[in-house]
Structure 1
Amino acid sequence: MSAVLSKNHYLFTSESVGEGHPDKVCDQISDGILDECLRQDPESHVACETFASQALILVGGELSTNAHIDVQKVAYNVVQRIGYTNPDYGLDCNSMAVLNMIHSQSSDINQGVLGKGLDEFKGQQGAGDQGMMFGFACKETPELMPAPIMFAHKLMRKSAELRKSGEVKWMRPDSKSQVTIEYEGHRPVRIDTVVISQQHDAGISYDEIKSTVMEKIIKPVLEPAGLLDSSTKYFINPTGQFIIGGPVGDTGLTGRKIIVDTYGGMGRHGGGAFSGKDPSKVDRSGAYMARYIAKNIVAADLAERCEVQLAYAIGVPFPVSVLVETFGTGIVPDCQIADAVKKVFDCTPAGITKTFNLKRPIYSKTASYGHFGNSEFPWEQTDKAALLKKEF
């Protein structure tokens, strides 16, 4: 039975999944196809979905591109890179079937994106869809990300490192993690619970699995944070066995891990998935810009925590709303920060694409371990913090 938390203390949990999780397999294939389109034709418009079940990979969606894509080859390369090279693992790159159901993009959508829609927007790139996107940042970690999701991602990265290097030979590609942190206000004070489910070969004892995960994954990743204590609870492969995994254990689908992809449930989410979508789709590029804005606000010390909402109408070349929420941590009113944001950041679909140089094959790396918190990604830079500060 859990201890009663003291006043102003609460628990918050986030999860991550490894590259071999069936939904992440699909995300990686969809982004692999997007990257190949952009590699050949930077003006490609792509909305690609993948479904995986048993040994079947089904790829569908809409393309408007001059690229010639070998869908089967892209899927094979992704699955092989993940490590599904044995039929016992739940998927096998050498024997899987790949069905290609991709077709051309709707001309009705395309004309708005290309600036051929309503007369008042002629010649201006419009948003590829309507919707709202959220970005979030806070000072809990060096990456300005919430601690639970960053720790969960790091556990999964370590798992993949051990498996792919061959250091732990019984590990299979499918895996999940979950981290529960006790907060005092907005400050992480301890890690309450750690959960890891790691797919493994048959014939490996539970004691070996538990000991390896604890000593080679959990301790190296989480001990440096100084948040583990004698009361931290650990659940390692809590079902007792995890041999059957991948698309044999569970059907996979692109876009079904949107909370893993973002902030682990901290902050709101507009509902749109990312993988398989080119930057004209503001579900993706708008979310990247919202994160960029929120991170720069926090990096500029204008707030300890910040959430930014952008909203768009299909075919319209500017956001219909920009909202900043600092949860009472802002040094000036949120409306003033929002006014500064409108001056410093170009939130038009064309401006977002230009700011991050998004018509490049950079998306496959985003399809595992989250789209935020990785300094390799251009939307993770804090190069606008000084400009924001000057507004005040």
Structure 2
Amino acid sequence: MRSDFLFTSESVSEGHPDKVSDQISDAIVDLFLSKDPHARVACETLTTTQKVVLAGEIRGEGIMDTEGNWAPGVEQEIEDTVRGVVREIGYEQDGFHWETLDFSNNLHPQSAHIAQGVDAGADKDEGAGDQGIMFGFACDETPDLMPATLDYSHKILERMAADRKSGKAAFLEPDAKSQVTLRFAGGKPAAATAIVVSTQHAKGYDEGAKEAELHNYVRGVVADVLPRELLTNETVYHINPTGSFEIGGPDGDAGLTGRKIIVDTYGGAAPHGGGAFSGKDPTKVDRSAAYVTRYLAKNVVAAGLARRCTIQIAYAIGVSQPLSLYVDTHSTGTVADEKLEEAIKAVAAEKLGGLTPRGIREGLGLNKPIYRKTAAYGHFGRKASGDDFPWEKTDLVDALKAATS
């Protein structure tokens, strides 16, 4: 591992067009799981000027039958859910307004050929919803055991959104992006060299005293979010570097579900298997296996068994057992990576019922409507509370220590 370097991660706000799409897709997942905990959902969303389009495959009791007939009232619930998400984000603009946007629902029944590979039967366990590789990661750069560059990028935008909604920063509009560059020394964050924030704003906040007010506000947020020792006189700020940002959100650029997978995960500090999360029910291992590998990696670091940990897992569609499990502690581990692999398998079998799709889903309690909250400001590094973000718990620490002692 290099110990001295610059590294950068970005985040986007809940009002970014791709994130609007992600939140709508996950709100539909939650709606269907609230009706049938075993619903199958693959919901894609397109957002553009005054338009939201849903497409994908679904199946579930009280939702839609195999012939494509909706249960009574569900179509209206879907539209109400979509408009509610857009309203909560804060879009009431001429080019994208929750109340007047054009909505199109193109969801249809799940393919029977996919269903036969995934469903459990008398002679087989539930199979993975698709083939693929998934990664989990954790490191000790922040208390959340996340890469610092991404953690701070998320928190800047989360704070700005809260201030916009409370009225403290009423000149802000929903669309925004952030980017944080840190200099690492000895493998640890030493200084912020560059901060980039581009935020949609009310008319007139691109010149004069109002522009200065916006810039000073953003600098204040950054000062609150980043540790004081990381900000120096040499930190360079780029705030709305293009000048004006009045037209934004889906009116300024089309949005699609699943286009911000690096923002969703580790900000480029770890590999990504390529599959998006939002819009998918937990039988899709793109989502559930990425969650469980984060859970396992976080517990490895929380247990003091490594300062950095990457875990890869692989599946074949219709096959329940994973094809491989790989652990890399990047030369920071206190035990051999091979020993950690065996310990993780043993602990997962004991605590989760294994690393099959069913074991992950039931062990982490994923068949619940908990996904809308994941669709902005990252799926990882969040606070586990009640049913929310169960993969962020560190309740495997003692078992991992015991298995590696």
**Bin for the TM-score computed over the shorter chain:** over 0.9
Residue 385 of structure 1 is matched in structure 2 by: 397
> What RMSD over aligned residues (CA atoms) do the two structures have, in Å?
1.2
SS of structure 1 residue aligned to 2:177: strand
Distance 1:76 1:364 in 2: 14
Aligned-pair CA distance for 1:43: 1.0
SS of structure 1 residue aligned to 2:230: coil
Residue 108 of structure 2 is matched in structure 1 by: 103
Distance 1:283 1:186 in 2: 30
Residue 182 of structure 2 is matched in structure 1 by: 181
Aligned residues: percent identity? 51
Corresponding position: 1:323 with 2:331: no
Unaligned runs of 5+ in 2: 64-73, 349-353
Residue 143 of structure 1 is matched in structure 2 by: 144
| Matches for 1:225-264 after TM superposition, within 5 Å | 225-264=228-267
Distance 2:133 2:361 in 1: 17
Structure 1 residues 220 and 384: alpha-carbon distance in aligned structure 2, compared to 1, 3 A threshold: same
Distance 1:186 1:92 in 2: 46
Distance 2:165 2:396 in 1: 38
Deviations 1:34-82 (A, max 9, x none): 0000011111000000001111111000001122353211110000000
Residue 280 of structure 2 is matched in structure 1 by: 277
Aligned-pair CA distance for 1:8: 4.4
Distance 1:281 1:157 in 2: 28
Residue 93 of structure 1 is matched in structure 2 by: 98
Residue 369 of structure 1 is matched in structure 2 by: 377
Aligned-pair CA distance for 1:208: 2.1
| Matches for 1:142-221 after TM superposition, within 5 Å | 142-204=143-205, 205=207, 206-215=211-220, 217-221=221-225
8 Å contact 1:17–1:175 — kept in the other structure?
yes
Distance 1:14 1:78 in 2: 27
| Matches for 1:330-341 after TM superposition, within 5 Å | 330-341=333-344
Residue 17 of structure 2 is matched in structure 1 by: 22
SS of structure 2 residue aligned to 1:50: strand
SS of structure 2 residue aligned to 1:226: helix
Task: Output the amino acid matched with 1:130.
Answer: Q
TM-score by length of 2: 0.91
Task: Output the amino acid matched with 1:127.
Answer: A
Aligned-pair CA distance for 1:225: 4.6
Distance 1:339 1:302 in 2: 14
Aligned-pair CA distance for 1:175: 0.5
Deviations 1:362-387 (A, max 9, x none): 00000000000012210001101110
Distance 2:181 2:123 in 1: 50
Residue 41 of structure 1 is matched in structure 2 by: 36
Task: Output the amino acid matched with 1:32.
Answer: A
Distance 1:122 1:30 in 2: 33
Distance 1:274 1:124 in 2: 23
Deviations 1:160-212 (A, max 9, x none): 01100011111100000000011124211111110000100112232222122
Deviations 1:267-314 (A, max 9, x none): 100000000000000000000000001001111111110000010011
Aligned-pair CA distance for 1:318: 1.2
Unaligned runs of 5+ in 1: 1-6
8 Å contact 2:120–2:126 — kept in the other structure?
yes
Aligned-pair CA distance for 1:143: 0.5
Distance 1:145 1:306 in 2: 11
Corresponding position: 1:349 with 2:357: yes
Task: Output the amino acid matched with 2:182.
Answer: I
TM-score by length of 1: 0.94
Distance 1:287 1:185 in 2: 29
8 Å contact 1:115–1:315 — kept in the other structure?
no
